[in-house]
């Protein structure tokens, strides 16, 4: 058995256990295998183990891999990294979900570009719930204005929320932020039915699931340490 297959099986077992603790089944949780910095060959190996959704941070790196993997029609790529407005023109129809929409000017640029393509793009709003100055994401106090802008757009379809928690020695300390995100997710659901709460990575995904996450982004625990 390959290392990636063994790792995926282990991750799915842990997802199932964490989901059961929050009264849910494993099929309620979506796993995004974070393939940033890993070569296309690693994606193919994971694909052959039954993993079909992959997350990339940088647009150009993702497009290079998408080109290599164009014959794998059921692979879906998510853009999970910070998105610069000058990169929006390269998105086109390459990403099934964009996790990192976090500001008005980005929404304006995406609306302009996707209107030209007559494409409705599924997105998540990224929230900087811990208010970390070095991180992307809309601040909680600015969230309502951005949410209103997204809901009024014609070519962006809000599918949920995303967050990146602080990197702490004890992931348990992030429960408070996961809970705040779940409260925000529930609030959004009173305005528009949304699907995804994307939170939880290799070190903390079980805690995130227990607190309501239904989409986790896991890289090194699947593919091994990055070089």
- CA-to-CA dists, residue 169 to 106, 172, 173, 178, 191, angstroms: 33, 9, 9, 16, 36
The pTM is what?
A: 0.96
The closest of 199, 205, 198 to 220, measured between CA atoms, is 205
In the chain, the domains with their CATH numbers are 3-223 (3.20.20.10)
- CA-to-CA dists, residue 88 to 99, 137, 202, angstroms: 13, 17, 28
Mean pLDDT computed over 15-20: 97
Of the pLDDT bands very low, low, confident and very high (cuts 50, 70, 90), residue 227 is low
Mean pLDDT computed over 208-219: 98
Share above pLDDT 70 across residues of the chain, in percent, rounded to a whole number? 100
pLDDT digits (tens, 9 = 90+) for 99-149: 999 999 999 999 999 999 999 999 999 999 999 999 999 999 999 999 999
Give strand pairing partners of 129: none
| 66, 87 contact by CB (below 8 A) | no
């Amino acid at each position: 058995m390959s290392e990636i297959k063994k790792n995926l099986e282990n991750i799915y077992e842990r997802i199932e256990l964490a989901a059961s603790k929050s009264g849910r089944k494993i099929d309620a949780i979506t796993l995004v295998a974070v393939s940033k910095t890993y070569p296309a060959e690693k994606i193919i190996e994971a694909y052959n183990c039954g993993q079909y959704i992959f997350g990339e941070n940088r647009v150009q790196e993702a497009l290079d891999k998408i080109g290599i993997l164009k014959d794998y029609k059921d692979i879906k790529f998510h853009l999970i990294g910070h998105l610069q407005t000058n990169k929006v023109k390269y998105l086109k129809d390459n990403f099934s979900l964009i996790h990192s929409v976090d500001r008005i000017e980005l929404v304006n640029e995406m609306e302009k570009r996707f209107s030209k393509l007559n494409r409705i793009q599924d997105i998540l709003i990224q929230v900087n719930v811990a208010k970390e100055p070095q991180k992307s994401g809309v601040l909680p106090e600015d969230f309502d204005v951005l949410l209103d802008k997204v809901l009024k757009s014609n070519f962006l379809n809000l599918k949920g929320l995303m967050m990146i928690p602080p990197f702490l020695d004890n992931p348990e300390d992030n429960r408070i932020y996961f809970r705040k995100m779940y409260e925000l997710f529930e609030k959004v659901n009173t305005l528009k039915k949304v699907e995804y709460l994307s939170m939880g990575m290799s070190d903390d995904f079980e805690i995130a699931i227990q607190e309501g996450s239904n989409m986790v982004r896991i890289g090194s625990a699947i593919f091994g340490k990055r070089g």
